[in-house]
Amino acid sequence: MHQNPEDQDQLLNEAADWLLRLSHDDLDIEQLQQLQQWKMQSPQHQQAFDKMAQFIQGLDVLKQQQIKSQHPLIRKHIVKKKSLSKTAAKSLLLFIVAAGLIYQLPIQRWRADQLNAAKQWQQQILSDHSQILLAGKTAYNIDYSNQKRKIQLLEGDIWVDVAKDHQRPFIVSVGDVQIEALGTQFVIRRDAQQLEVNMLESKTKIYSASQQFKSFQLNTGQRARIHDGQVSVQNIDQKQVAQAWQQKKLVVNDMPLDQVLTMLEKYQNSKYLYNRQRLSQYKVTAVLPLDQTDTALALLQEQLSLQIYPVGSLLTWIKAKNNN
C-alpha cells in the first residue's frame, strides 16, 4: 500500500529519535517496552526502525546491547550506548540524508528548469517579462507556449509578479493545486506539510485538478493554506508579508513549532530531525532571520527551552527538554 510522504517523514523522524536515544541515553525497561510498542504499531514502523538500525549496525556505529530482560522481542533490536565519533556521525548523516531524499524529494527536482540553493535569493525574468523571486531551497519547471504560461513548483518559496497577457493565463501548478492569475503579485510557500498562498496584489483563482476542494477566489490581503484537500483562508497584512520577504525574515504568529522548523529547514543545509507530533504542541510567535538560521534556532531554543544537538554541520537533532 502506498504511504503518504508526510507519514513516511514522520516515521523516519521517530525511528531516528529512538536510535539516537538508544545511542546517548541509558534507557530503562519501561522505555524499552515503549520502543517495542512503537515498533509493533504497524509493519511500516518496524521496517523504518529495522532499515535504519541495520545500516548503522553495518557501519559499526552502534553495536547490539546486552539487556537482561524478560522480553526477547525487546532484546532483538536494541543497540549499545556509545557516543558518536566524527566518522560515525558522518555515516549516520549520510544514511539519514539518503533516506530523506528517497522518502521526500522527487527525482524531477534535480532536473528542474530552475533550482535554488538553501542560502540563496535569486530573481528570474521570464520571456513574457513576468518575474519570479526565489528564496531558499526552491525548484520549478517552466512550460510556456502560445496558449499558456505555466510554472510547476516542485518545492520552495517564490514571489511571483505576473505580466499581463489576457490571451494566456498564468498558472502555478503545485501538485494537485492550480493557482491561476492574469496580472497580479503573490507569494507561495510549498513544503511537505502544506501549501500557502499570500495575495499581495489583485486576485487569483485557486482550484483542485482532481476536485478535492471547491474552487475559490483569493483577494488582496488574504492568505490561503491548503493541506490534504482542506482549505483555510484568513486576512493578512500584505505589506508586512512583502517587507518580511525583502528583509529575509520569517514572521509567525502562534504557529506550531514543527511547521516553523519545516520553513527554517529550507534556508540552511542542515537536516533537522525531531518528533513532529511532540513539537507541534508548542506554539511560536516570533520574527526569525532566514539568512541566519543558526540565530533563528537559538531564538527558538531560548523561547521554548529546546534541546539542540548538532551532529557535524549537516544534521541537527531537536527535542523538547521535557521529552523522555
pTM for this structure? 0.71
Q: Where are the domains of the chain?
A: 5-104, 112-244, 247-320
What confidence score (pLDDT) does residue 5 get?
A: 52
CA 282 from centre of chain? 17
Q: What share of the chain is helix, strand, coil (3-state, %, to 5)?
A: 35, 35, 30
Of 293, 295, 287, the residue nearest 240 (C-alpha)? 287
Q: From residue 269, how far is each of 26, 89, 201 by CA, in Å?
A: 31, 16, 32
3 state SS of 107: helix
Q: How many whole angstroms separate alpha carbon 190 and alpha carbon 176? A: 12
Cell numbers of 227, please?
A: 493541506
The CATH number assigned to the domain with range 247-320 reads 3.55.50.30
Q: Is the dihedral of CA 13, 15, 19, 24 positive or negative?
A: positive
pLDDT of res. 17:
74
* Residuewise pLDDT in 10s, the chain (324 residues): 455 555 666 776 777 777 767 665 556 778 778 888 888 898 888 887 776 665 454 433 333 333 333 334 334 443 433 444 444 544 454 455 444 444 444 456 668 899 999 999 999 999 999 999 999 999 999 999 999 999 999 999 999 999 999 899 999 999 999 999 977 999 999 987 789 999 999 999 999 999 999 999 999 999 999 998 999 999 999 999 999 999 999 999 999 999 999 999 999 888 888 888 899 999 999 999 999 999 999 999 999 999 998 866 667 888 887 654
| φ, ψ at 265 (rounded to 5°) | -60, -25
Closest CA to 22 of 59, 58, 52: 52
CATH of 112-244, one of 2.60.120.1440, 2.60.210.10, 2.30.30.90, 2.60.40.1190: 2.60.120.1440
What's residue 315's pLDDT? Answer: 74
